[in-house]
């Protein structure tokens, strides 16, 4: 809105202000041209009266000065608002870059953590596999030793091998020897 020829701006964005100022410049140009046409018409119709000519010349000069000042002020204001808008956009761009960098760091940390967990899982699997083999071998060896000892015992007693039906403690109980400790 305009109050006494001055531009009044109420909390508008830079883009709105620039549009308003450009519109105001266009309006001033149109009004200036209308006044020039009116002045030309008055000059033609009142050429005999020198006083009217002087007044018209004075009006024309003041109008030109006013319009030039208004155009310069509006141009200056458009430049200021454009600069403000550019700074806002630059700040917004920096914020977007910072947020993007934070997000990339979060993703990197998540990938790193997943890799660490994967490595720990692989180490656990390898340890479990090695441990299960370590326990499996002695159990298998002990089991074979029990079968072998049971076969020997059966042969000594004159019977067939009983290892399939006997538990290791049964063999120990009958012979009063620990079959695990027995050697060839």
8 A C-beta contact, residue 180 and residue 142: yes
CA gap 56, 54 in Å, rounded: 5
Q: How far is CA 92 from the centre of its chain?
A: 14
pLDDT, position 124: 84
pLDDT, position 172: 47
Mean pLDDT by 10 residues, the chain (184 residues): 50 81 88 88 72 80 89 90 89 89 91 88 81 68 79 72 47 47 46
Pair 160, 110 in one domain: no
pLDDT, position 76: 92
Query: Rounded to the nearest 5 degrees, what angle is found at the Cα of 26, between the Cα atoms of 20 and 32?
Result: 135
pLDDT, position 25: 86
- The model carries a pTM of 0.38
Q: 146 lies in which domain range?
A: 129-175
pLDDT, position 171: 46
Pair 21, 74 in one domain: yes
Pair 11, 74 in one domain: yes
- Evaluate whether residue 124 is within a structural domain: no
Angle between helices 168-175 and 50-157 (to 10 degrees): 30
CA gap 87, 93 in Å, rounded: 10
Pair 106, 30 in one domain: yes
- Evaluate whether residue 133 is within a structural domain: yes
CA gap 113, 54 in Å, rounded: 88
User: For residue 4, what is the DSSP state?
Assistant: T
Pair 35, 87 in one domain: yes
CA gap 20, 61 in Å, rounded: 26
How many domains, the chain?
Answer: 2
Tokens of 31: 């009004």
Read off φ and ψ for residue 154, nearest 5 degrees.
-60, -45
């Amino acid at each position: 809105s305009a109050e006494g020829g001055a531009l009044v701006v109420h909390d508008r964005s830079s883009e709105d202000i620039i549009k308003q100022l450009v519109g105001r410049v266009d309006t001033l140009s149109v009004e200036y041209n209308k006044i020039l046409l009116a002045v030309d018409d008055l000059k033609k119709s009142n050429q005999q009266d020198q006083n009217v000519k002087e007044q018209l010349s004075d009006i024309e000069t003041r109008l030109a000065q006013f319009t030039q000042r208004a155009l310069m002020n509006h141009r200056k204001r458009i430049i200021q608002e454009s600069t403000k808008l550019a700074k806002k956009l630059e700040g917004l761009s920096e914020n977007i870059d910072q947020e993007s960098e934070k997000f990339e760091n979060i993703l990197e940390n998540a990938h790193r953590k997943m890799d660490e967990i994967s490595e720990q899982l692989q180490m656990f699997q390898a340890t479990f596999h090695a441990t299960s083999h370590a326990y499996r071998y002695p159990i298998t060896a002990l089991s074979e030793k029990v079968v072998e000892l049971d076969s020997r015992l059966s042969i000594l007693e004159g019977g067939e091998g009983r290892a399939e039906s006997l538990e290791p403690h049964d063999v120990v109980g009958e012979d009063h020897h620990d079959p695990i400790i027995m050697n060839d």
